[in-house]
Amino acid sequence: MDSGQFLKRVSELTGFDRERSELLVRTTLVTLGTRIAPGEADDLAAQLPDSLGAALQHESEPSRFGPDEFKRRVARIVPLANDQAAAAIRAVFTVLGEAISDGERRQVLAQLGSEYEALVGMPTGQAASTS
């Protein structure tokens, strides 16, 4: 999936125009990148178009914050109302799940933990192996 297809799919799911979808995707990926380990962020970035994968990469220890803080960070930048943020982030994770391998998806979700299940719209444990 190239970056244009990724953004188009997010636009379809959110109803956002391309510019707002791109801001949403990049903000969600930057936030995700800071939440997971650098090596995992690099592995995930390798499965995305370079223009999107670059948003994930970092060299610091992962920041440990819950789904409410994840939503707050994305909503502040995009900007979105809190009730819109969850659905918008879920749309990005849906497309992310379509763009990457099941194994990589499971590894990312395992790093997020079960508290993220409602936000990302998919199980973060063993059940994540089903599509």
Domain ranges of the chain: 3-126
The CA distance from 9 to 12, in Å, is 5
Per-residue pLDDT of the chain (131 residues; tens, 9 = 90+): 899 999 999 999 999 999 999 999 999 999 999 999 999 999 999 999 999 999 998 889 999 999 999 999 999 999 998 789 999 999 999 999 999 999 999 999 999 999 999 899 876 654 333 33
Place of tokens 């959110």: 14
Tokens for 64, please give them: 């440990």
The CA distance from 86 to 68, in Å, is 9
In residues, how long is the chain? 131
- CATH H-level superfamily of 3-126: Uncharacterized conserved protein DUF2267 (1.10.490.110)
17 — alpha (psi -120 to 50), left (phi > 0) or beta? beta
